[in-house]
Chains A and B, each alone.
Chain A
Amino acid sequence: MKEDTRPEDFIGHAYTPQIGRMLPYGALINSKGIIVQVMTEEDYADL
């Protein structure tokens, strides 16, 4: 995994626990195991 990989870059990838560790703000996985949405700092900026 490249050092400058952003959480959004994982959209479309199959979820793995290793990828999960790189998604501190969470993500939504579809029933096929594919990451379809990634939460980012912006989702929680004002909370």
Chain B
Amino acid sequence: MNIVVDSDILFDSVKEKDPDNILRRLRNAGHRIFIPLTVLGEVMLTGITEKRRDDALRVMDFCDEIDPFWMIPNERLRGCCPCIDETDRRIHGLTDKTHLGYAAAYNTRRLAMHYFLTTDGELLHLTLLCKEKCNLRPPEIIDPDTLRTKLLNK
């Protein structure tokens, strides 16, 4: 399965020292991790503004280990963002909506994005409009515990 990851998951991953780290387990089980450029930017900016440079560096080292795919912006992203706005106008986090936009923009008939992994409660209830607008199965927005149950049998 292809899993797009939010920045909170990356920060949580470097806090956990136990082998039950969800991203490590997903990789070991053969799933693929995708990280939008805006998530990388948020990690770096949080490292600077919240004086969490060590955490940001740990995230970078951790990314070497889990070997994700970095997603760069594309023309499609510019079309998906207004569509996400339309999904639920109560969501105010532009950064979070843009992260989600990457999951939608790279979700095509040839390359499906199956999940968007986050702990952000504001996003977890959303269902993207990929089916209605493009006849594509939307990436499911999912929290770590639910994804563990679905993909890791725990």
A residues at B contact (CB < 8 Å): 15, 20, 23-31, 36-37, 39, 42-44, 46-47
Contact = CB atoms under 8 A, between A and B. Distances in A.
Contacts of A42: 110
B72 A23 contact: yes
B69 A25 contact: no
Interface of B: 34, 63-64, 66-77, 105-106, 108-111, 134, 136
16 contacts: A20-B72, A24-B74, A24-B75, A25-B75, A26-B105, A28-B69, A29-B70, A29-B71, A31-B63, A31-B68, A37-B111, A39-B108, A43-B108, A44-B108, A46-B109, A47-B109
B106 A39 contact: yes
A28 B33 CA distance: 11
Given A24-B75, A37-B111, A39-B111, 14 more contacts: A15-B70, A24-B74, A25-B74, A26-B105, A27-B72, A28-B34, A28-B69, A28-B71, A31-B68, A31-B70, A39-B74, A43-B111, A44-B76, A47-B136
Contacts of A39: 74, 76, 106, 108, 111
Given A43-B108, A47-B134, A30 B76 contact: no
Contacts of A36: 69
B136 A26 contact: no
Given A44-B108, A47-B134, A28 B74 contact: no
Nearest to A17: B72
Most buried by B among A23, A29, A47: A47
A29 B41 CA distance: 15
A28 B70 contact: yes
Task: Output the residue of A29, A39, A43, A46 with the most chain B CB within 10 A.
Answer: A39
Nearest to A24: B75
B67 to A, nearest CB: 5
Nearest to A31: B67
